[in-house]
Amino acid sequence: MTESDHDWYAPEIATFGDRLTAAREATGMSQEALAKRLGVKKSTMRNWEDDLSEPRANRLAILAGLLNVSIMWLINGEGEGVETPDNDTLPSDISDIILEVREMKAELHSKAEQLARLEKRLRRILGTQT
């Protein structure tokens, strides 16, 4: 295992949504309870945790305070956050699968961002030809 395999919340392994979910679960709050405290809909919270959208800066600051983590940890996994799960409690094959799933999720997220940039370029090119 590499060094980053031990840091479940590193940027190349975990997404913002992964870290938000972990921090929320560490506090014992449900999505609904946290959404209510933030004054947002549960569906908004779900979208943040599923990496379908991200909170604005003001909500991000409130989230960090409510979850007792740093803003930077939520964004990129650096700084004060929640403890990394103890890999020793899981069989190694399960731990390896979990890490592979997280890496694939991060790769998919990256590819989705790349696809969005390409679509934007294509629209710009097509828009200039009309």
- Supply the CATH number for residue 77's domain: 1.10.260.40
CB atoms within 10 A of CB 76: 14
Average confidence score pLDDT of the chain: 83
16-44 confidence digits (pLDDT tens): 998 899 899 999 999 999 999 999 999 99
Q: Which segments of the chain have a pLDDT < 70? A: 1-8, 10-13, 85-90, 130
Its pTM stands at: 0.63
Specify the amino acid at residue 121.
R
Domain that holds residue 19: 3-128
pLDDT at 67: 94
CA distance 78 to 126: 40
CA distance 97 to 27: 26
> CA triplet 36, 63, 44: central angle to 5 degrees?
50
Domain count, the chain: 1
Residue 58's Cβ-side half-sphere holds a number of Cα atoms within 13 Å equal to 3
